[in-house]
Amino acid sequence: MSKAEKIRKATLAAVAQRDAYVNETTDDIAEMYRKAADDMAAQIRGSDGRRIEPLELHALLQATAAVLRRLNTLRDARLENDLNTLAVMAGMPFGDTLTFSRRERAKDAAVSFVKNFVHSDGLQLSDRLWRLSRHAADTVAEHLKAAVGNGDDAFHAVMGSLGSGADVPPHIAKAYDASRAGALRQSLRDIMTGSPDPTTGGGVVYQAERLFRTELIRAHGEAYMGMAFETEGVRGVRFMLSPRHPKPDICDTHASSDLYGLGAGVYPNRESCPWPAHPNTFSYVVAVFDDEAGGSGKDKAESSAKTQYPSVYEDSFPKSYQSLKHHVDVLKARGADTDRLRRELGQKKRWVAAGLSSEQKSWLNTQAGYVFLSDETLIKQFAHHAGQPVFMKHYLNLQHLIDNAQVVARSNESSVMFFQEDERVMKAVLKTTRDGSEVYLTSLHVSDMKAVKRALKKETVFKNEYGSL
């Protein structure tokens, strides 16, 4: 059996062990939260039918907060231990190829990366743990305050109803019952252990399980890649879907794309690999050796942007578009801002996006015959318009948009806005260079009729098929 075959077989075993360990850990976390819920319920004294009065609330809040602090300490210690355990597990496939000290360095680097990684929302792991603790504390405290307060109001309403002989409204009776000791104990257990809530679809424990699952798998994958790229003969890593992959998503795209000529889903270095594509994933990566990779590839030691991202600059627009979008998504997930994206990915590449008629040239004050789309504009679009339903087909359809625009108006001295309504209103902005020799697409996005109305108020309107709006 070759070295590559041994590592591939050992990787599958390590991933199976990873999944089993993560599932066992999340079960333990659920049990930890159940125990905390029982401890909080035990702070509520008296028989099930006894109403908890407002005078008891302060002491009850202090007691439940103490339980949560103990839970947080146990939870965080468990996470610290499990991050290291998963990173060690990731080294199993490389036991015969890397020394213990090199595997230890990769393990430590992976754990450090997980702890210090800044997500797209600006939060590190410690911030997420704090937010997890804060969410649990706020949820429990707000529930107790509402249940006891509403129960007290309901009690006085019931007393008033009894005095007048009127029936007690159902919602008053429900609020009164919710403040009884037995009901309050059960509702605390529900909140802590998974009763659905409107925001998350899960209880407080769901948030903890999700964090553990995401970060433990991240530690395993980071350690694996760190060791894989230190192994002689490794050309890249292949993005693999888990057998548990429920339905097609972005993972399928990453696993099937051949952006580097190395084969479907193969990425030449850590920087280019988009794993993990999202939280809560069970996807993984496997080392790919020189004789397994398709195409000629590039020397891993070269570091220029054009070498690191070859398919952005050497292929047709459709493939360049897909590759550039992929790299923007990967770098954004690692906290890159627009300036960094432009520095690392921008190479002054441009494509012809549309032709210009004589009338359109007059609007734009140019003799240029074409509209160019630059890689800098694409980078900006991907960075700032993420989530908008604008795809490659819309860029390829720019000619149709500007030729069939219902409204064309001057945006500023050098730019002209084109609005075209089909299934939705699309807006394209074309800009003429200072010397008038070239025209570039600077923005393409979904718009609305409010923007059209604002455009019609501009001083210079070249075309208006709507009339008065």
104-152 residue pLDDT tens: 999 999 999 999 998 877 889 999 999 999 999 999 999 999 999 888 8
Rounded distance between C-alpha atoms, residue 383 and residue 24, angstroms? 38
Task: Please report, for residues 27, 169, 193, 346, 427, the alpha-carbon distance to residue 338 in angstroms, rounded to integers and kept in the order given.
Answer: 41, 58, 41, 11, 22
- Given a cut of 50, whether residue 7 has pLDDT beyond it is yes
Q: Are residue 144 and residue 10 in the same domain, yes or no? A: yes
- Position of tokens 């997890």? 132
227 within domain boundaries: no
Q: What's the mean per-residue pLDDT of the chain?
A: 87
220 within domain boundaries: no
469 within domain boundaries: no
Q: 429 has which bridge partners?
A: 417, 443
- Given a cut of 80, whether residue 61 has pLDDT beyond it is yes
Q: Are residue 155 and residue 239 in the same domain, yes or no? A: no
- Position of tokens 């718009």? 447
Which tokens go with 266? Answer: 């193969």
- Is residue 135 within 8 Å of residue 45, measured between CB atoms? no
Query: How many Cβ atoms from other residues are within 10 Å of residue 156's Cβ?
Result: 11
Q: Are residue 360 and residue 305 in the same domain, yes or no? A: no
Which tokens go with 430? Answer: 């074309």
DSSP state of 269: S
Note the pLDDT of residue 195: 59
Secondary structure class of 312 (helix, strand, coil): helix
Note the pLDDT of residue 469: 64
Handedness of CA 115, 121, 122, 127 (dihedral sign): negative
Per the structure, the count of domains in the chain is 3
Structural domain span for residue 122: 3-210
| Average pLDDT over every residue of 45-62 | 91
Q: Are residue 409 and residue 421 in the same domain, yes or no? A: yes
Rounded distance between C-alpha atoms, residue 109 and residue 341, angstroms? 25
Q: Are residue 161 and residue 140 in the same domain, yes or no? A: yes
19 within domain boundaries: yes
Q: Are residue 8 and residue 154 in the same domain, yes or no? A: yes
- Is residue 276 within 8 Å of residue 218, measured between CB atoms? yes
Hey, what amino acid is at 278?
H
Task: Please report, for residues 131, 189, 269, 432, the alpha-carbon distance to residue 67 in angstroms, rounded to integers and kept in the order given.
Answer: 17, 13, 45, 65
